Amino acid sequence: MDLSLILTNLLYGVTIGSALILIASGLSLTFGVMGVLNFAHGGLCMLGAYFGYTLVQVTGNFWLAMILAPLIVAGIGILMESFTIRPLYGLNPLYQLLLTVGLAMIIANAVLLFWGGDQLAITLPVYFKGYFHFWGVDYPRFRLFVLLFSAAIAVVLWITISRTKWGIVIRAGMHDLETVNAFGINIYRVFTIVFAIGAGLAALAGVIIGSMRAINPEMDFELLTSALLVVVIGGMGSFRGAVVGSLLLGITDAFGAQFFTGAAKFSVWVLMVVVLLFRPEGLIKED
Amino acid sequence: MKGRLTFFIVLAVLTAFPLGANILYSSFYVSLLTRIFIYALIVVGFDLLAGYTGMISYGHALFFGTGAYLTGMILKHWTPWFWPPLLLTVLASAVVAYIIGYLSIRTREIYFVFLTFAFSQFFFVTANTLEFVGASNGLSGVPKPIIFPGLNLSGENSFYYFTLVCLIAGYLLARLITRSAFGRVMVGVRENEERTKFLGYDTRKTILRVFVVSGIYGGLAGALLAAFNSFVSPNLYHPAISGEIIMMALLGGMGTLIGPMIGSGLVIILGDILSSWLAESWMMILGAIFAAVILFSPGGVMAIGRRIGERLRKGRDHGHP
């Protein structure tokens, strides 16, 4: 295996991983703050891809899709949170989880109803087509954009969580809801906003992923699985865990596909089992 | 006493049911009921784990698939007899359940849900890739198995009775388990695991045992399904099937054995009616019903029934002082 092959896989893995950060951090954030493991998260991501597709089809503007699709899905997220998840706060968290299973089914079928079961693809602007060549590596331009864009979003997110007043409220919410409430902050509004951000991030990743590969109504569980794997490997409810887990998963997947063609997906499961055996709480434990 | 009477009446009706086929109703309903029995079997197994010990698995379809593939392969390539695949299914399901259970029950609640989900996704991916089990095309042409010399399950009625017997046996065994001392430990784990542990029970071992039993139920249901459909699809491992299993149990009422069986019937009959109206989007309606049940009646049909029963009794008491 020569250097260019290693570099190609590494770049590919990091690119996929960086898009995964957007999905996994949303999932991890809602879990960390609200205690809700959202099984409809993959569905929200898929909705982002489909809305992105339609918006590009209708307006011909990729950037409009990148802005509007996440906003629409964030709006759907707000509706989901206020009408279905909120009534269940205070009950066993498993009820919320099971509810999101029902929501995932509804989303999957709504997609099938409106867009049909065919494979679709988002058309990219001309300037994203083509490759960069260096050290024998062909790196698609769009992938470089994905890498930089996702990294930028992740940095903004990290700064928001670690440096701003909002971030303090969110982190405090993870630790002690009652105290936050006692300080006069409406924790339910925080929940709604966090859920909307999670949904929007998932949709943003949906548009990006939908531009790199085919969109189909089966992708929701695939994406959910990847995001959940990331969260389990990285550590539940931890933003740093989501970043580390995403990159690790992306790279493992890329190299796995290189080494074991045909059984491409197995390497990530091996990774999960290994992490579980030695660190059941994930690689990074937030304190 | 009343419960036993109801049990025998239901049993009598179900036993007599195929006799009316093609006279009173189409024989389609016999096969519909057979399908309900098969699902009821896996759901009762699921309920032992989820309803009694409180460990919700979102990967139970994994056992469906395991039993179905094993049985399909054996019936197709080795022997037309049903007993070897059934026996091997029990063994294989137990082993698979032990390994997955061992890894998953290090965690609780949501983490457990996710891990079981992840493991079933692993099987889903595997079944879709492995060429020798047909990859994404699945396994077709599984022959109808023989159970006794001269009796194979090709007839609709023979399959109906065989699954009915399996379901009754499964139900009675589950009843025996839940009413035993072990069953009380199971409920103890659900209600308060810490306290149960302090009482000197190895709660982890308890859950692992239930997980294995539950897996065997699922594997056997899968074996029946493979022979019934003459076809095994990798979609048996799909998370949607695991979701349906949870839905059946929840709709009927978890932690009761009768409820989940009623739930299986409801979901399958509802699915049948809705899919003839709405083609593929029936799952959407089912999802909405599921969400509504969780929001408004987490105890499922059994809880609604109990509430109505209580109200009636109260009404009667008021009427006759």
Report DSSP state, residue A281: T
- In this complex, which of B103, B117, B294 lies closest to A98 when CB atoms are compared? B294
- In this complex, which of B129, B281, B295 lies closest to A113 when CB atoms are compared? B281
In this predicted structure, what is the pLDDT of residue B321? 42
Q: How far is CA B292 from the centre of its chain?
A: 22
In this predicted structure, what is the pLDDT of residue A261? 55
Contact A109 B129 (CB under 8 A): no
pTM: 0.84
Contact B287 A106 (CB under 8 A): yes
Contacts of B117 in chain A (CB under 8 A): 225, 228
Contact A84 B240 (CB under 8 A): no
| Coil, helix or strand at residue A223 | helix
Which residues of A lie closer than 8 Å to B, measured between beta carbons?
31, 37, 39, 84, 87-88, 91, 93-95, 97-99, 101-106, 108-110, 112-113, 117, 221, 225, 228-229, 231-232, 236, 262-263, 265-266, 269, 272-273, 276-277, 280
User: Alpha-carbon distance B141 to B228, whole Å?
Assistant: 11
Q: Which residue of B has its CA nearest to A39?
A: B114
What single letter denotes the amino acid at residue B17? F
Contacts of B122 in chain A (CB under 8 A): 269
In this predicted structure, what is the pLDDT of residue A263? 54
Residue with tokens 């029902």: A102
Contacts of B286 in chain A (CB under 8 A): 105
Contact B239 A266 (CB under 8 A): no
Contact B287 A236 (CB under 8 A): no
Contact B294 A99 (CB under 8 A): yes
In this predicted structure, what is the pLDDT of residue A50? 96
Both tokens assigned to A12: 């590919």
A266-278 and B83-104 helices, crossing angle to 10°? 50
In this predicted structure, what is the pLDDT of residue A1? 60
Q: Count A/B contacts: CB-CB distance under 8 Å.
A: 106
Low-confidence ranges of chain B (pLDDT < 70): 1-2, 279-280, 315-321
- In this complex, which of A97, A101, A277 lies closest to B110 when CB atoms are compared? A97
Q: Is B182 exposed, middle or buried (0-12, 13-18, 19+ CB in 10 A)?
A: middle
Contact A105 B290 (CB under 8 A): yes
Helices (H), chain A: 3-34, 41-59, 62-80, 93-115, 141-163, 165-175, 177-182, 187-212, 219-234, 239-259, 266-278
Contact B243 A104 (CB under 8 A): yes
Contact A101 B125 (CB under 8 A): no
∠ Cα A33 A39 A41 (to 5°): 75
Contacts of B250 in chain A (CB under 8 A): 98
Nearest CA distance, A133 vs chain B (angstrom): 33
Q: Which residue of A has its CA nearest to B125?
A: A265
Nearest CA distance, A190 vs chain B (angstrom): 22
Q: How far is CA A167 from the centre of its chain?
A: 19
Q: Which residue of A has its CA nearest to B297?
A: A95
Contacts of B284 in chain A (CB under 8 A): 105-106, 109-110, 113
Contact A102 B109 (CB under 8 A): no
- In this complex, which of A93, A101, A105 lies closest to B110 when CB atoms are compared? A93
Which residues of B lie closer than 8 Å to A, measured between beta carbons?
56, 58, 103, 106-107, 109-111, 113-115, 117-118, 121-122, 125-126, 129, 238-240, 243, 246-247, 250, 280-284, 286-288, 290-291, 294-295, 298
Q: Which residue of B has its CA nearest to A117?
A: B280
User: Alpha-carbon distance B215 to B66, whole Å?
Assistant: 10
Burial profile A29-54: b = 16 or more Cβ within 10 angstroms, e = fewer:
bbbbbbbbbbbbbbbbbbbbbbbbbb
Contact B286 A99 (CB under 8 A): no
C-alpha closest to that of A120 among A266, A199, A6, A219 = A219
In this predicted structure, what is the pLDDT of residue B1? 55
Could you tell me if A239 and A161 are in contact, meaning their C-beta atoms sit under 8 angstroms apart?
yes
Average pLDDT of adjacent 10-residue blocks, chain A of 287 residues: 80 90 90 85 95 93 94 96 84 80 88 88 85 81 90 90 83 75 80 92 94 88 88 84 90 77 67 78 72
Dihedral sign of CA atoms B193, B194, B199, B203 in order: positive
* CB atoms near residue A110 (< 10 Å): 17
Task: Encode pLDDT of B232-291 as tens digits.
Answer: 998 888 888 898 899 899 888 888 899 899 999 999 998 888 877 776 677 778 788 878
